[in-house]
Copies of this chain bind each other. A is one copy, B any other.
Amino acid sequence: MSTRRNNREHAQRYLDGLQGHPFPNSEKLYLTGSRDDLRVGMREVTLTPSVIGGDRANPITRDNDPIPVYDTAGPYSDPASDIDVRAGLAPLRRQWILERGDTTELASVSSDYTQQRLADAGFDHLRFEQLPNPRKAKAGANVSQLHYARNGVITPEMEYVAIRENLGRERLRNEILTQAQPGQSFGANLPERITAEFVRSEVAAGRAIIPVNINHPEAEPMIIGRNFLVKVNANIGNSSVSSSIEEEVEKLVWSCRWGADTVMDLSTGRHIHETREWIIRNSPVPIGTVPIYQALEKVNGIAEDLTWPIFRDTLIEQAEQGVDYFTIHAGVLLRYVPMTAERVTGIVSRGGSIMAKWCLSHHKENFLYEHFEAICELCAQYDVALSLGDGMRPGSVADANDRAQFAELETLGELTKIAWKHDVQTIIEGPGHVPMQLIKVNMDKQLQECFEAPFYTLGPQITDIAPGYDHFTSGIGAAMIGWYGCAMLCYVTPKEHLGLPDKEDVKQGLIAYKIAAHAADIAKGHPGAQIRDNALSLARFEFRWEDQFNLSLDPETARAYHDASLPQESAKVAHFCSMCGPKFCSMKITQEVRDYAAKNGSGDPLAQVIELQDDTEIVKGMAQQSEAFRQQGGQLYHALSDEDELESQS
């Protein structure tokens, strides 16, 4: 018990002291769109100048462009923000929602359960106090971004997304930064510049979603689709055996800081309702849930006691709190359940197993499938997106791509068409555990069966032999499927299969998945994806250590690792590093190659050498070149005096 209390108290202190703070040497930047209240937050990493000549006393320098970085932290990375987790974040989208005039503010919540819960003073100590009144579509109205998009309306959310995806790249001046390797897009359509109209058209086609419940106006709009940057989801949530509300809110803030594009609250404990309220009110990113988890709590964990009315009330409860997307396991059909009997690991999806049990117990078809149209009607009234759950996903590489998995995927395609009929934004969940050679067929089949609705996969994990490292075993699969076309990658933490993730696990999971998503962007040929790589590589080559740290996904760790070998401040401006030491350094030698090439001819340096070799007086020429190089080489090992200094210190 003491550990749990300590964790809670630690989280409480963290939240009390919370204020917006950027990453090292980063500035929060807002690009304003067509209206003053459309301000798209991002961060810029400020770089030190490059030394391009002169000497140590009087260096000649060239300024380096600040590098824009996609920022999921919202107000939490802005020092100008007032953060008060008891008040929640500012509702940046409220005015946009109000202006559309298609919603009404409800006098009270519609869910029976919420009403009972609010009336129970026993939960007062847990409750988020400043509860907003929920909104709902006016009778007959559909308030989804898909509905607007299909009607040709470009919403502020769409414009926001377009600006956000472009990152203001046109402001970069150094051409080396925007050079990129050719991508292999596997059919993705990646325009050089994202326009609001492109966003609208992609949403209208169902190829992308903007998950923005009208009751979560605090969220910054973002987009999930194959033709945009690959996104990452972080799962948080307490269970009946671990963690508190404070810890979950701390994990939310932490997740956003480390790059979660959306967060799923998978709580299964006693205070799901109250935990969720705290999370949503403080979240700058869309929040997803699996409503069946809470519905199961309401029937005391007895799956066969689940009913459609209880589930429906749960959807309303959560929609009016502001959940942005629901995972619904409507594709777990009765006839698919026995297909899992021969598997090595059976059904591993919690939602899938609950529905499988319900189906077998009643020997009836899945009630989520039977009531799917009603679910869609409800989602359209709040703009809750649907994430069609893969209850039959494989739980081991042995079970990958079997008929249970693919049968369900086909049903998810059928459900996608129904959701789209109701203008409900839809994404499709995918596996799970899949060895490398079987990943691509998952992507291809999903695109085909689900009509290019965005794919959202958990990993996939490519081997089962490394519990404790499954952020990595799954991060490999995630990078690959992101390249092949997956729109969002659900992270896995090092604790997967073993325990619930703590804060450090959340960070490790997110960094693994930011790497996977970014690598996928580069591989697809996403315009601008390589800018940060180029900037960091240039900094590395020029021994701008501070810039190399600050451009990293995790500046603190990069700096700490460097300092573990060379803790002296002087080492951060040294023109060598601990790997090779000062005696020789490949980067330094390359600079000499470059200087040599520059001084010995203005043309193609290759041609110059070939020319020399072709010379009839080749021996003489070589001797001359050699002498010239030696004369330039007086300062070859620039840092020799630094070396002695360092060695005497260490």
Contacts and interface: CB of A to CB of B under 8 A. Distances in A.
A536 to B, nearest CB: 5
A581 interface: yes
A348 B605 contact: no
Contacts of A4: 650
A10 interface: no
A466 B268 contact: no
B558 A467 contact: yes
A240 B644 CA distance: 11
28 contacts: A4-B650, A239-B578, A240-B581, A268-B583, A334-B609, A344-B541, A346-B593, A347-B589, A348-B586, A350-B586, A353-B585, A357-B592, A360-B629, A363-B612, A364-B622, A364-B626, A398-B537, A435-B523, A436-B483, A464-B536, A466-B514, A469-B511, A497-B548, A498-B561, A498-B565, A499-B563, A499-B564, A499-B579
Given A338-B606, A463-B522, 19 more contacts: A1-B650, A240-B643, A241-B582, A301-B583, A303-B589, A304-B630, A346-B586, A347-B586, A349-B586, A353-B585, A353-B586, A363-B621, A397-B522, A398-B530, A436-B483, A463-B519, A464-B532, A464-B534, A468-B558
Contacts of A184: 437
B345 A590 contact: yes
Contacts of A166: none
Nearest to A567: B3
B499 A565 contact: yes
A585 B522 CA distance: 39
A437 B584 contact: no
A580 interface: yes
A348 B240 CA distance: 52
A594 interface: yes
A222 interface: no
A327 to B, nearest CB: 14
A512 interface: yes
A540 B578 contact: no
Given A498-B562, A583-B268, A586-B352, A466 B396 contact: no
Interface string A150-194: 000000000000000000000000001001111110000000000
A552 B557 CA distance: 27
Instruction: Tell me whether chain A's interface is mostly helix, strand or loop, or mixed.
Output: helix
Kindly list the 3 A-B residue pairs having the minimum CB-CB distance in the complex, ordered from nearest: A346-B590, A499-B565, A338-B605
A261 to B, nearest CB: 16
A467 B548 contact: yes
A538 interface: yes
A279 interface: no
Interface stretch (A73-81, A106-114, A206-214, A470-478): A470-478
A535 to B, nearest CB: 9
Contact of A468 (B354, B561, B613): B561
A517 B297 CA distance: 43
Contact of A363 (B350, B500, B623, B637): B623
Nearest to A240: B581
A551 B464 CA distance: 10
Nearest to A581: B240
Contact of A523 (B436, B467, B621): B436
Interface in A358-403: 360-364, 395-398, 400-401
A87 interface: no
Size class of A's contact patch?
35 or more
A126 interface: no
A319 B522 CA distance: 43
Contact of A476 (B479, B534, B584): B479
Q: How many copies does the complex hold?
A: 2
A201 B466 CA distance: 34
A72 to B, nearest CB: 15
Interface in A609-626: 609-610, 612-613, 621-626
Given A334-B609, A363-B623, A593-B338, A466 B565 contact: no
A502 to B, nearest CB: 7
B512 A472 contact: yes
Contacts of A1: 650
A323 interface: no
A533 B586 CA distance: 41
Contacts of A296: 583-584
Contacts of A128: none
Nearest to A183: B437
A397 B530 contact: yes
Contacts of A360: 592-593, 596, 625, 629
A475 to B, nearest CB: 7
Contacts of A240: 581-583, 643, 647
A588 to B, nearest CB: 8
Nearest to A520: B436
A499 B580 CA distance: 9
B534 A344 contact: yes
Contact of A633 (B337, B346, B361, B476): B361
Contact of A578 (B466, B500, B566, B612): B500
Contacts of A563: 499
Contacts of A566: 241, 499
A335 B554 CA distance: 39
A140 B258 CA distance: 63
A646 interface: yes
A564 B502 contact: yes
B554 A466 contact: yes
Given A303-B584, A304-B630, A590 B540 contact: no
Max count, chain B CB within 10 A of own CB: residue among A483, A515, A557, A561: A561
Given A335-B606, A586-B352, A540 B469 contact: no
